[in-house]
Amino acid sequence: MNVEELIAKASKKCEIFSNPLRTFIAAYIAVKQEVTWTELKTSIEKYTGKVNPNTLSFHLGELTNIGYITKINIKGQPRYKITESKLPEIKRLAGVELLQAIKEKF
């Protein structure tokens, strides 16, 4: 399966991942370990085309509010990483196949 099909499959598993963009965000950060907002936006745009900055901020906020993502401020440049205790859950929900596909494509 390609990345798009794997994201659709993972998105059906759980309410938090019911939105494919949110699934991509969580899986991408899980693979990269830590990213800036700009790095994340650039990668999303490779996957979906243009993304509204407000949409990205909304989904990051949702993932942060429920404790899946932690925001770290380093020298005025916020970075995002998966909350350590949530990584196994994200791997289970997103699926190893999706994480591997993102690793290879991005």
In the Cβ-directed half-sphere of 51, how many Cα atoms lie within 13 Å? 24
Listed residue (91, 92, 97) closest to 29, CA to CA? 91
Give yes or no for a contact between 34 and 80, defined as CB atoms under 8 angstroms apart: yes
- For position 32, which CATH number holds? 1.10.10.10
Listed residue (95, 63, 98) closest to 82, CA to CA? 63
Q: What is the pTM of this model?
A: 0.83
Please report where in the chains the tokens 């429920």 appear, as a residue: 66
pLDDT given for residue 2 in this prediction: 86
Range of the domain at 50: 3-105
Q: What average pLDDT score do residues 74-83 get?
A: 89
Per-residue pLDDT tens over the stretch 4-49: 888 777 766 676 777 889 989 999 999 999 999 999 999 999 888 8
Report how many domains make up the chain.
1
For 12-16, 62-66, 71-75, 93-97, which range has the lowest pLDDT when averaged over its residues?
A: 12-16
Residue 81 β-bridge partners: 34, 70
